[in-house]
Amino acid sequence: MGFAIAERFAAEGAVVFIADLNPSLGEEAVSAITANLGHAGGRAFFVRLDVRNEQNWIDAIAQVLNESGKLFPEGKLDILVNNAGVQRRCPAIDFSEEAFDWVMDIDLKAPFFCSQAAARAMRGSGGGKIVSISSGNSRMMNPGRAPYCMAKAGINAMTQVLAAEWAMYNINVNAVAPGFIETAMVRAGFRLGILSEEQIRSVTPIQRLATEAEVADSVFFLVTDEARYVTGQTLFCDGGWNTGILPGALDYVRHPEKFDTDK
């Protein structure tokens, strides 16, 4: 999803800084985006970042400001997307402290301190937009994912608090909560037999998984002028999964003739 978001922003003419712990993958993403830009006008750069390290965030923001200053007179940061995320599947009764800390550090602690570092830069340059990637699991819980669900619910709460505090600086803070998306994480669940496409379709009114590009569209909307009065919101991009329907519950609506409606 992070690549799709960066690709969409660059295609719209943005200068994108891709932050990643793995330099080879980061540079590979930059090369792929640059190769497809054509005449879009956007640009892409790589910044090495370990999201578990607060000082790394501070250094990364400083690098972004320095590099953007070479391209634009004002040299500022306009948009931050908190996208890094991990998941560890394990029954809650067996979850280790080490695994718990790993998930919470990356999925909740890192977005807070990255947002803090970005907001300090944005505050001095007229404002900006912050979008964090939450999850449908912030509302619709799945067994075996306790820290992940807790962290993503925390993202929604964090979004509201930061939006309230930073509106005075002209910083809009929102989140996007994807449902079941065609990502490596979901495909891993298929391979392990933890979930299936049939299960997903049965609880998703739109009856399919989303593409990564559709998540990117939601993120992009929240940083445009069309969303300038939107802040503190979590936008669920989940095909209606959060409506909470039971598996197969829409069969009656699709095929009422199969049911005896007089009883």
Cβ proximity of 234 and 243 under 8 Å: no
148 is catalytic: yes
Q: What is the pLDDT of residue 25?
A: 94
Q: What is the pLDDT of residue 39?
A: 62
Q: Of 148, 169, 229, 252, which one is the catalytic site residue?
A: 148
pLDDT above 70 for 148: yes
- Gap between the Cα atoms of 99 and 76, Å rounded: 36
pLDDT above 90 for 176: yes
For the chain, percent of residues with pLDDT exceeding 70: 97
pLDDT tens across 49-75, in order? 999 998 999 999 999 999 888 888 778
Cβ proximity of 10 and 33 under 8 Å: yes
Helical spans, DSSP H, in 36-145: 54-71, 97-104, 110-123
Whether 174 is covered by a domain: the verdict is yes
End-to-end CA separation in angstroms for the chain: 47
- Gap between the Cα atoms of 181 and 4, Å rounded: 12
Whether 14 is covered by a domain: the verdict is no
Whether 142 is covered by a domain: the verdict is yes
Whether 71 is covered by a domain: the verdict is no
Query: Cα 7–10–13 angle (5° rounding)?
Result: 155
Whether 34 is covered by a domain: the verdict is no
Q: What is the pLDDT of residue 193?
A: 82
pLDDT tens across 112-142, in order? 999 999 999 999 999 999 999 999 999 998 8
CATH of the domain at 240: 3.40.50.720
**Higher confidence at residue 262 or residue 195?**
195
Q: What is the pLDDT of residue 29?
A: 95
Give the H or E element holding residue 24.
Answer: helix 23-35
Nearest to 84 by CA among 157, 14, 126, 22: 22
Domain range for 82 is 78-258
pLDDT tens across 183-192, in order? 887 888 888 8
Q: pTM of the prediction?
A: 0.92
Mean pLDDT over 97-119 rounds to 96
Mean pLDDT of the chain: 92
Which residues are registered as beta bridge partners of 210?
181
pLDDT tens across 5-64, in order? 999 999 999 999 999 999 999 999 999 999 988 666 789 999 999 999 989 999 999 999
- Residue corresponding to tokens 């619910």: 153
Domain total in the chain: 1
Exposure class string for 19-42: b at 16+ Cβ within 10 A, else e: bbeeeeebbebbeebeeeeeeeeb
Whether 2 is covered by a domain: the verdict is no
What interhelical angle do 23-35 and 2-11 show, nearest 10? Answer: 40
Nearest to 34 by CA among 25, 42, 24, 26: 42
Whether 166 is covered by a domain: the verdict is yes
Whether 7 is covered by a domain: the verdict is no
For the chain, percent of residues with pLDDT exceeding 90: 73
Nearest to 233 by CA among 223, 243, 225: 223
C-alpha distances out from residue 155 to 121, 184, 195, Å: 21, 22, 24
